[in-house]
Amino acid sequence: MGFLLILAVPVMLAIIFFVFRLVARMSQKTLPNSDTTGVASSSFIGGMRWMTGNASSPLTRLSIYEWGVRFQGRKLVGPLIPRFELSFSEIKSAQLVRSTLLTTGVRILSTDTNMSVIFWTGEGIEILNCLSNYNVHIETVEKTIKTIEPFSG
């Protein structure tokens, strides 16, 4: 009986890992047929909120490239967090946000209907300054987000 229990635990953990990975892959948005390589001009560590999930800081990275932005999980949690890539032409606006729990971040709103990502960080002003260098529209009014409501983009 003990041997079966010892064998069942790693099997269950593997199943949970693959389910989380599958959900992350189904949620991600990457840029097809484009050169999304190169060295990031800026990179920030923080948390991330997307339509179907939330990752606490410091589990995600926001990288700004010449072609656009990439949100992704860091190191070991990378496979469990969806990757989002947006070209600058796909970004409708960027805005400072604050949760009711006083966490600050930047919301990137896509031209894609209802698609947005919030990057939780204390470096929001720096991120907005970097994005403005690429002619991204910056909303000047900070928005308060109620963390207990469903994510509305």
pTM of the model: 0.76
- Each residue's pLDDT tens digit, 78-102: 777 888 889 999 999 999 999 887 7
Has residue 12 got a pLDDT over 80? no
- On whether the CB atoms of residues 43 and 64 are closer than 8 A, the answer is yes
Topology of 2-32+40-145 in CATH? PH-domain like (2.30.29)
The model's pLDDT over 28-60, given as tens digits with 9 standing for 90+, comes to 666 665 556 678 889 999 999 888 788 888 999
CA distances from 134 to 3, 67, 88, 93, 95 (A): 58, 9, 7, 12, 15
| Residue 120 structure tokens | 């939780």
CA gap 93, 127 in Å, rounded: 12
Tell me the two tokens of residue 43. 């990179």
